[in-house]
Amino acid sequence: MSTLRVSAERLTIHEHPNADALELAQVGLYRAVVAKGAYRTGEFAVYIPEQAVLPDALIGELGLTGRLAGSAANRVRAVRLRGELSQGIVCRPEALAGTDLEQAAADGEDFAERLGIVKWVPPIPVSMSGDVEAAPDLLPWTDIENLKRYPDIFAPGDQVVITEKLHGTACCFSYFADTGRIQVTSKGLGSQRLALQEADGNLYWRAVRGHGLPAVAARLAARLDASRVGIFGEVYGAGVQDLGYGEDGRRDVPAFAAFDVSAEIDGQVRWLDPHELLAGELPLVPVLFSGPFDLDTALKLAQGAETVSGRGLHVREGVVVRTADDRYSPVVGGRAIAKVVSDAYLTRKGGTEYE
């Protein structure tokens, strides 16, 4: 899940093809439906992204009472309005009256706290929860920003790898070579440096034990002469999320697909290619493209049916794009890695978003 940032943005306004009274305000590559004439190209406004939870007063001010997602009707999510995908909210809240939004955009100011907006935290099912312990030395994974929000992360021609993004729950595994100690956590708990204590019924531990991650990590640590190894993969199947890929996540050994590897070598943590290091050792997420970056290619590959089952059983969640050499991106201040989520996934009915 990407970070929440409520920011001032320069708008590009497009005609809505199916509604005379509406227009499309573009922020990055996102487009949000707005009232016709409310904004002009080149003007600045506040952009509230998907998964933001709004306070009641702001919802009322924007005329969105009863129109947002969630049981409290207060969460922003993608919707189709008159046939066009609308992602996020473009507005000028009264609380920011008099604010120089152009300067705020230049300064990278975040208005989330000032507007009382917080990030939505999905509920955690019993099978994914458990007792936790402090784990200051575990290797956590990272939030991935959306390519539509930050389209300049990659330059045309950058060598990239594009993999299918699976809709499950991220299992984060750390191995310590000096003692053989292991730690298992979720993405959310890992960001807090917390690990899950081992329990027979826990989904993540079942995946780790069932797919032999400790032995795989031990071999990898010896091969790389690494002091710590992190293996990150998606646990998926029916009972985990609403998209099952033909697998049953309730069985003793749930389906698992590795999507990332990190290792501490000579005191430095490096991100490595899982398809190079783990082929034949663990199931891997599908590679959809490898070659020079092209924005249109990345956006197109995010759409369509899933390829994991080989049967196209349901929509594809999207894709993850990363540079082949895992370089640093000054655009996001971290790894050059981004996601694109499919339109059909965003607007599906009855979806789950456990983390």
Secondary structure (H, E, C), 69-80: ECCCCCECCCEE
- pLDDT of res. 355: 64
Regarding whether 317 and 216 lie in a shared domain, the answer is yes
Phi, psi of 154, deg, nearest 5: -115, 145
pLDDT at 215 over 80: yes
The encoded tokens of residue 66 equal 């009863």
Regarding whether 226 and 87 lie in a shared domain, the answer is no
Domain assignment of residue 354, yes or no: no
If you average pLDDT over residues 174-197, what whole number do you get?
A: 94
250: left (phi over 0), alpha (psi -120 to 50) or beta: alpha
Domain assignment of residue 355, yes or no: no
- pLDDT of res. 1: 56
pLDDT at 162 over 90: yes
Q: What is the model's pTM? A: 0.89
152: left (phi over 0), alpha (psi -120 to 50) or beta: alpha
pLDDT, one tens digit per residue, over 97-130 is: 999 999 999 999 999 999 999 999 877 776 778 8
Domain assignment of residue 298, yes or no: yes
Regarding whether 115 and 132 lie in a shared domain, the answer is no
The structural domain count of the chain equals 2
If you average pLDDT over residues 88-99, what whole number do you get?
A: 97
Domain boundary among 119, 149, 181: 119
Q: What is the dihedral of CA 324, 330, 334, 335, to 10 degrees?
A: -10
Percent of the chain exceeding pLDDT 70 equals 99
Regarding whether 103 and 15 lie in a shared domain, the answer is yes
If you average pLDDT over residues 308-333, what whole number do you get?
A: 95
State how far the Cα of 335 lies from the Cα of 337, in Å rounded to an integer: 6
State how far the Cα of 336 lies from the Cα of 338, in Å rounded to an integer: 7
State how far the Cα of 14 lies from the Cα of 33, in Å rounded to an integer: 10
Most confident of 119-128, 184-193, 258-267, 328-337: 258-267
pLDDT at 35 over 90: yes
Q: What is the CATH number of the domain that holds 228?
A: 3.30.470.30
pLDDT at 231 over 80: yes
Single-letter residue type at 127: S
Regarding whether 171 and 258 lie in a shared domain, the answer is yes
- Number of other residues whose CB lies within 10 A of the CB of residue 320: 23
Regarding whether 112 and 154 lie in a shared domain, the answer is no
CB 264 within 8 A of CB 226: yes
Domain boundary among 97, 119, 141: 119
Pair type for strands 337-341 and 145-146: parallel
- pLDDT of res. 128: 78
Domain assignment of residue 340, yes or no: yes
Domain assignment of residue 231, yes or no: yes
159-187 residues labelled b (16+ CB within 10 A) or e (exposed): ebbbbbbbbbbbbbbbbbbeeeebbbbbb
- pLDDT of res. 352: 81
The encoded tokens of residue 123 equal 């509920």
274: left (phi over 0), alpha (psi -120 to 50) or beta: alpha
CB 138 within 8 A of CB 204: no
According to DSSP, residue 175 is labeled E
Range of the domain at 70: 7-119
Domain boundary among 93, 119, 145: 119
Regarding whether 76 and 155 lie in a shared domain, the answer is no
CB 319 within 8 A of CB 285: no
